[in-house]
Every structure is written in C-alpha cells, then in structure tokens.
Structure 1
C-alpha cells in the first residue's frame, strides 16, 4: 500500500489535471456552493503547479525560445476562450471585460512577472543578465499592440465612447495578428539567438547541459497534459467567477477587479515557470514568458473579440481611461530603461513591482 501511495504521489502531475477535468465536468454551468468553491480553489492551485511541470518538460524537449512560446500561446488561447464565454454570458456588464482582462494581463506580465524575475535573479546571482536585442524587440511589439488596441479607441471619433468602429476594429485585429506573426517568426527562425539565455560573459546558451532532454513520447504526453491542465485552470476559474463577481459587488469594488482576478488566475502557470527560470539564472527565458504572454494576450484576444462581436450584443469598450494610460506609458518607459543595458539589479525589479502595486491599488480604489 505504501508503494502504491508513493507511486501515486510520483504521478501527481498526471492525476491532478485528470481530477481537475472531472471536477470541471461536474461544476460546469452550475451554481457552485461555498464548500465546492473551496475544493475548486484547492484543485486550481494543484493544476497550476502541474501545468508548470509539463510546460517545463515540453520546453526542455523543444528548447528555447519554443518552450516559452508554447506555454504563452496555450495559456492565451484558453484565456481568450474564457473571455469570450464570459462576454457571451455577461450581457451589458461585460462590455469592458476584454479590455480590463487584457490590460490586467499586460500590467501583470510587464511589471509583475518581469519584476519578480529580475528581483529573484539579481538577489540570487548579483545581477540579472539577458539579451537586450531580443527583449527590446518584444517590448516594442507589446507597446505597439497595446497602443493600437487599448489607447487609440479612447481618441477615435467614428463611434461614440471609447470604442472602435467596425472598420477600425478590423484594422486593429489584422494588425495584431500580423505583428504577432512577425514576432514569432523573428523569435523562432530568423533571429532565434536573440531570445536564448546568455551567460554572464554574453555568450548564448544553445542547450541546457544539466540533464538529457526527455523523449518525444514523454514530451508529447506532457503537451497533452499541459493542455488538459490549462483547460482545467481556465474552466475552474470560470466556475468560481460568479462567486468572485458577487464578492466584488458585495465589497463595493469596481467591475474591473473581475478582469484583474481572471488575469491573475490564468497567468499563474507562466509566473511560476518564469520564477523557476530566474532562479536558475535563465532570465531571458523568464522575460520571453513575460513579454510573450503580454503580446499573445493582446495579439490573440483582440482578433478573437473582434470576431465574437459579430454575434455578441452590446458594446465592446476597448479604450483605456486616463489613469490607466498614464500607467501604461510609465510601464513602457521604465521597461525600456530596464531593457537597454541588458542587465538589471534588484532596484529595477522593485520599480516594476511598485508599478504593479500602483495598478492594483488603483483598480480597487480608482
């Protein structure tokens, strides 16, 4: 029996995603009572850890930057499905859900994940070292996508309010896909070395030398379990979202807080994976995850909600308010100053985390 328990414990990364899928099947579309919410939260934490494990297995097999790209795209695709589903169920009150969730994802990735990664790496290794060429290209793409999709709608005049007209929304969606496609091609084909971890002497690390890569069968199994785990993360997050929404309303908090909670939940796997990479002094991998997730969140969400708006009733508000535009501008400026030297100290990590704290504070107390 003891051997059986140990065997089960060793296979927890397989058991937990499967258990999450079963729990999701029983809770989907139903009102979840408080006791079940507690169980869902516990399973949610376990499935996040399982997702990180399987993402690292896949990343080790395919190498960087493909590994971080797999996790970022997988999480974002399922995040988009969650946003569209909630928009379809939410009616008028979900008009700003896409904007709030995407902007929350940008702030969490560009300040939270990036700041924590720099802080962990610099505290452990003295300084955090990364490639400014690849990271700068990623940051420029994120800044352009965020401005086109979240800032311009506030100033356009073809349609009342901070909304795009149909033609403008189509342009933003196509531009987002083109820019994201160009970045992926640059990251994985033409200039792949710019996105690989580097040594403290500036030499590119082409392969990890601490362990043999897993077999194709193992990596394929982990890829399937990763997708199952991510479906569990987002599906269970949707299951508890009514509880979150009612809690937000009961506390008298703005509706935008719901978008923040959704983004925090779905970005947990990337956050943990980035921190593990930073702890191993693979800061470039951490930054690939952070900026790649921000880019995928905008580049895939905006086209998806543009398509969904064809059959969803109600407005689609994408334009940011003045306070959030100031925070976005400050984030881009500070991130640029962080990226240019190619190395960072705990100070840079702390600055980004303060920006995230300011965003969270203003989300709760606008």
Structure 2
C-alpha cells in the first residue's frame, strides 16, 4: 500500500460522478455482489446442507464460505485503508484496526455460540492472532524492510507505549485466569472488573494516541518512505474537523460501504462455524486450529497491508498495524467475549498452556529489544519468524 499522507486544506472534495467513479469501483461492487449473493445462496440451499454432509461436499462448501469471507474482509480493509488515507495517522490506522476487530469478534462469537463445546475458541484465536501478527507478519515486514532498506527506525516512544499495553493486557488475558480464576477462566465478578479496567485503559490509550501524543505514532523524520509524515512538519496536516467537513460525502459513502461489506461476513459466520466444527471433528484435528483459521481470515488482509508498508520503508505504519491490532484484540475482543459468555452462560476458558505463555513472553521480549535498537534489521525479522515456527510446532504437539 502506498503511504497515506494526511489531508491538507488544499485537498479538493470529490462530488457527484467523480465521487461515484472513485469510490464505487468494479472491485468494490463485485465484493458486495459476491458477499450478498453468497448469503442468498446459502439461505436457499439450507435444506440441502443439513448434517451430516458427505466429506467432499463439506470441504467444498466450507472452503467456498471461507473464500467469500476472506474476499469480503479484503473489501472491509480496502474501505478502511481509504478512510485511513483521508484521515491520516493515527486516526486512519485506528479505523483499520477497529474494523478488523469487529470481524474478529463476529467470527469468534459465531463459533463460540455454535454447536459443540468451544470454551477455548477466544483463547485459541487470540493466541493465533498474537503469533501471526507479532511473529509471522512483523517478522516478514522486518525481514523485507531490512533487506530492502538496510534498517528501519520506528518511533520508540509510540512503540514502547504499544509494548507496555501488550505486556499488561496479554497477562490479564491469558495468564491471570489460571492464577486467580476458576477452571482456566475468570469468575463473573472477575470478568466484569478485568473487562471494565481493560476497556478504560484502552480508552485512555486512544485518547492520548489521537490527541496529545499523536506525534509519537507517526513516522520519524528521515524515513525512507518518500511521502512519509514526520513530526517535524505538523503544519501540513489539516485538523480532523476540517477533513470531516471538506470530505464528508466521501467519508459517509465509504463508511456505508464498509458496513455493507461487513454484514455478509456476519451472516456467513454462522454457517462457517457449523461446518468448521463438523470438519475438525471428522479430521480429529487440534481444537486450536479453529482459532488459527479465524486469525488467518481476519488478519491476512491487514498483514498484506503491513508488508506493503514495509517495502515502502514505513516502519511506524507497520508498528501501528501489527502492535495496534494486537492491543485492540486484547483490549476489545477479550472483554467482548467475556460479556458474551456472561450473557449466554457459555464458559470462556482463557488460561494458556505453559508453552504458549513462554512463546508469548519471548515474543514481547524480542519486540521490546527490537524497539529499543536504533534500527530494526532483517536479523530481528528472522528471530520473529523462528518464534512463529516454534508456535506451529507447539500447535501440533
């Protein structure tokens, strides 16, 4: 993805046919048609898809649903990226991250509330997200960026803020339940207290990130990206209220398209959950693979966005996407799942295995060391990729 520079007062607003031609592209319309036609097709074919399905039919239908969800998720990311380019960082990255979290929560809830016992789906998904985002995606970004640019310098203050959030929220999400909870999960009172404190901390973090400390999450001066924003030139950025006023029509249209693209994912997730449960049971596969699939569906588009940013030398953009995605997962997905569990009476097991806790701790330690270095290099990326390989080994052990 090309660098999305912030809006300036001289930007002209799109109107009428120009707006429609720019926003309603063939790809956008195609994704909408594919998503909603798939929902209609499953609705009409429901009587023919009653369990038990023959294994080839099950695999084909599940693969088709997952493919449609991935394509629709790509459409959500596309609209979120367009909003990001218009709003500028950190607002733009925040829109993209929150859009992804909505999809993640929908898919986890669909599996959790579906047939069968899925008490660990939230834990498995969050662990998979942690490893995919912080080791696979970030590792590839540092490797590609390091090989292409020699070394990349992120904004240490902003990166440090992400990492302290991840250390605390990660411990609350997957370590503390084993120490103070019951059966690997929080009690009702503990869930409400921990969930409430987590959301409040995240709200404070967002307030600072989008306000007084916004410059801490922007590219440093001297970034190799040709259009990177720097803290040294704040006068070029238009205030958010100016952007909202000048580009209101485009922002509203893109927001509407984002919602219209998310809804098919919501509607398809129930069928995906049913078929996924049946398929994993037949294969005798690890239950955690369901969480891995959800993480891959949700974060593949964002990981590709981060890789394009790394190729362009936008290391802070990479940090905002990868670290920000995991912060929002811990801070929003976990509390939401806890509330769903309380409202529906479903058990939510969050406590992780010792092996995965070691991996998560090592990941955060390596990330902290990388962030403290003057430049992140390809070597840092290779270490992250090794940690992801160990996670895959643990998954099938």
TM over 0.5: yes
Instruction: Check if 1:111 corresponds to 2:135.
Output: yes
Count of matched residue pairs: 353
Preserved contact between residue 129 and residue 199 of structure 1 (Cα < 8 Å): no
Gaps of 5+ in 1: 1-6
Aligned match for 1:175, one of 187, 197, 201: 197
> Which whole-Å deviations, capped at 9, do the CAs of 1:156-195 have from their partners, x for residues lacking one?
2x53x21212221112101210121111112110100010
Aligned match for 2:65, one of 40, 43, 49: 40
Preserved contact between residue 143 and residue 381 of structure 2 (Cα < 8 Å): yes
Instruction: Check if 1:155 corresponds to 2:179.
Output: yes
The 1:303–1:180 alpha-carbon spacing in structure 2 relative to 1, beyond 3 Å, is same
Moved more, 39-48 or 93-102: 39-48
Moved more, 215-224 or 334-343: 215-224
Residue correspondence of structure 1 range 254-293 to structure 2 within 5 A:
254-293=286-325
Moved more, 109-118 or 181-190: 109-118
Q: Cα offset for 1:114?
A: 1.7
The 1:358–1:237 alpha-carbon spacing in structure 2 relative to 1, beyond 3 Å, is farther
Q: Cα offset for 1:143?
A: 1.4
Moved more, 245-254 or 351-360: 245-254
Preserved contact between residue 111 and residue 273 of structure 2 (Cα < 8 Å): no
Q: Cα offset for 1:53?
A: 2.5
> Which whole-Å deviations, capped at 9, do the CAs of 1:13-70 have from their partners, x for residues lacking one?
2321332133134326944845444443443443344333322211110001111110
Instruction: Check if 1:145 corresponds to 2:177.
Output: no
Instruction: Check if 1:190 corresponds to 2:212.
Output: yes
Residue aligning to 2:372: 340
Instruction: Check if 1:11 corresponds to 2:26.
Output: yes
The 1:165–1:136 alpha-carbon spacing in structure 2 relative to 1, beyond 3 Å, is same
> TM-score, structure 2 length as denominator?
0.80
> Which whole-Å deviations, capped at 9, do the CAs of 1:250-282 have from their partners, x for residues lacking one?
332210111111111111221122122222221
Residue aligning to 2:186: 164
The 1:342–1:261 alpha-carbon spacing in structure 2 relative to 1, beyond 3 Å, is farther
The 1:237–1:81 alpha-carbon spacing in structure 2 relative to 1, beyond 3 Å, is closer
Q: Cα offset for 1:289?
A: 1.0
Q: Cα offset for 1:314?
A: 4.1
Question: Counterparts of 1:355 and 1:234 in 2: how far apart (Å)?
Answer: 32
Question: Counterparts of 2:26 and 2:74 in 1: how far apart (Å)?
Answer: 13
Question: Counterparts of 2:95 and 2:28 in 1: how far apart (Å)?
Answer: 18
Preserved contact between residue 51 and residue 269 of structure 1 (Cα < 8 Å): no
**Greater Rg by CA:** 2
The 1:127–1:321 alpha-carbon spacing in structure 2 relative to 1, beyond 3 Å, is same
> Which whole-Å deviations, capped at 9, do the CAs of 1:112-133 have from their partners, x for residues lacking one?
2222222222222221221111
